[in-house]
Copies of this chain bind each other. A is one copy, B any other.
């Protein structure tokens, strides 16, 4: 992915991206569950680095497992700078997958953001780090209270959406969306233009224009927009 493409996507809302994807036949790209842990994050864009959890079983999900070579710790040490970590917690919010120490390490490694359909723990500590987090809740218990970690960089589900390593993730105030790799360039091309038109339409509304014919635009509106745009 060229950095131009990522930069272009950073100017496109997740709302607009889902509309473009729907027109391409992709209706299931928006993750249900992950929301910004706090307000004020800028929009984040990056390639998905996936983590996978299955349910906890008491013989597997133990504090001792944290020292295993197949652990969240090992996965974090494998994350490249700029990636967006997407963790499949199966929508279980009763245990926090990570707390401040792991999030701090991700920040040190230059990870762009953390997205999960599960919870974080020690929210106060996590918020004192600068890593932007999209999650489905906050819970005190550690990951092993609800999850067994099984691997990274595998296909996963997150928030009801399939995510493959390398898919592009965009996250903003509305939540997080996945763009299949094959569609990234097209979304990056169509998105900024769609934003430009929507800003123009919003300004028209604020000047008192009625909606029919404006949004979506009929031919006259489209022509007027094109004319004004060229000026």
- Residues of A participating in the B interface, judged by any CB pair closer than 8 Å: 13-15, 17-19, 22-23, 25-30, 32, 35, 54-61, 63-64, 66-67, 71, 73-74, 76-77, 88, 90, 93-94, 96, 99-102, 104-105, 108, 121-125, 138-142, 144-145, 148, 150-151, 154-157, 160-163, 172-175, 177-178, 180, 182-183, 198, 201-202, 205-206, 208, 210-212, 215-216, 218
Contact = CB atoms under 8 A, between A and B. Distances in A.
Contacts of A183: 59
Contacts of A175: 138-140
Contacts of A173: 123-124, 138
B123 A174 contact: yes
Contacts of A13: 122, 124-125, 140
A212 B73 contact: yes
Question: Chain copies in the assembly?
Answer: 6
A108 B205 contact: yes
A26 B57 contact: yes
A139 B30 contact: yes
Contact of A28 (B55, B122, B124): B55
Contact of A15 (B58, B122, B206): B122
